[in-house]
Structure 1
């Protein structure tokens, strides 16, 4: 097997790979590298450890975010190990073909889900992704569940954005004095530190567990592009709270709507034949409460993007697809991109049949955390993006949902429409599609 050169962020090499703690809490915002590193960490352990069964949970009511699983699959590919791993969609898991180690993916939102997770036997390690809202009881339950494999491999990993000021993690680990500080931010706040926690056992006994806490920002990631850095530094002027979170690792409490107003244009005054590019983007519904969305975007120059048509529908695919095909045929975009999630393959296949032969339909994969993706593109939505002032109700309903989107993700009942716009800016305008 050829040697692979795997880049590990130095801060994680020093304080995770080169240490031995039963709990690691990785706190950081977008592009801090924490999720990418966790994919590397679990790939290594799945390949090298004995009798290793890793549980990956997330605070979701339905399927765990596909991006979490995809991240590990992509890291396995980085290591050149794809041939010895097997990916199963139902139930969601990744298996090692030689040593039989496995990674299981489970939702961890409802009491019913948590009881099902608690019933799993032989768990060696657990990773709680997006653990902003974890409680002490959940922390204790996950840590105490680690009874499988080798004792030194029994590790609880928590990864999160610093957004829940009132949560257990901030209250216990950040607002109380650490037991040992290893690195500090310039303003004196602990950046890498150890904090012990006393966990009560079922037999009224207690155990002291040392926890390693690592706070990273985009500045800890030397592999970012200039564009990725610019996206965050722009927030200094457009969203100061978000900048403090991403640039300085501070816990912030986002409040209010993300976008107050959007620039307007009249379609009747826009010559679409003069646009540099006409693109359609389809995002299919990923759960029962979601809507499938269609956005058709016209680009003029480097920084003018017009939402020519917008449509959302929560009905069955067989109803929605012909309507979307009709809209696409009306505007004849050069490309139609369909996100590969759940019904994405079906949408792609049917839209190819129902749209004109000159229109190219292609699926793509978006693996980012949805809220972080929306936040990262909100600056461009405010500056470079235009919506119609002469549209009908369906288009206006789409825009109303966009303007209702809250900085606090827990306040959002729907995020499908603004996610469509975020994916357009994140992927379509940068020619960086992850094609399936």
Structure 2
């Protein structure tokens, strides 16, 4: 390596040589550079997001992880970049995003006892009806409550077709009991598509039902779950079946304001003989009485009222699974002068299936009449949920446990 210092030390004795060396040996100098501090690279999270989003992160930079709709975060939601002179790394590994399982329809997260409920007008508790939603009209800075509704799936809401006009901008609130008080668990869901039943003209014409597609997926939890829909006429319920209705409608005749908190009332499905004259009181031009697209139900000196429209008539078939059998369509102006008429779900099931592309949860469609031997050999067998009737006489409710015992008995008889 050439050195100017070495050459000048012996300059007097070797001046001629030094001259030659300086000609061919350039003077060198050291250049001081500032080292680049290590950085952390962007952490990867499948089906999720990192905020803030950057290519590199410096010491003490913190990021927050979130998952896409339909996925649940599994792990620590934040991480901090820790860097020294030689290395940089995150203080914790990135979490994973696991697909959120869709809960079984019609199941509640909280215990429920009808004996502990007051018939008519009692206040609902959190988690009692996790599929209940509020339908609001957005007018810019304000929201106007229109109707109740129910959750069918992560993308679809069901309500009444008479609740809104096609030009309305709708917003859904799920996971809350009150109309005006915000709670951390509530979900605000703008509606991207409104589909009314094609046969709907007004509430008097029947088929008062609509489907609302929300713009982002509903996040299911203990307070937000879907309700089951009975798949077709095989799931019709016999008269006198006890069901429940819940809504934010008026609680008294002398008030025009809806109820601030979700109310519930026990209802009983009525016979067509009972419903027909009541129906003619509203629709005088219908000599045949209530059409098959409707059913009517009435409470114990209590009923639904204005503001309850669009809400679900809910029935427990006996195993803790709740089905929606009706959408509240109309009733008397007086809150206690029932019955209430509902769009019958079993009559519009195929339309719901078509619009939603079967994107909702339903139970198995079991035909209780399809048994050997024939349960009604000399009469028409009418199928219900978990039971059947022969002709007009109430039939025996056949439970699964009884079927198993009966099968074992038959096998023993064959062996003997």
Structure number having the greater helix percentage: 1
Which structure carries more relative contact order (alpha carbon 8 Å, separation 6+)?
1
Assess same fold via TM > 0.5. no
Query: In terms of Rg, which structure is larger?
Result: 2
Output the TM-score relative to the length of structure 2: 0.23
Output the TM-score relative to the length of structure 1: 0.23
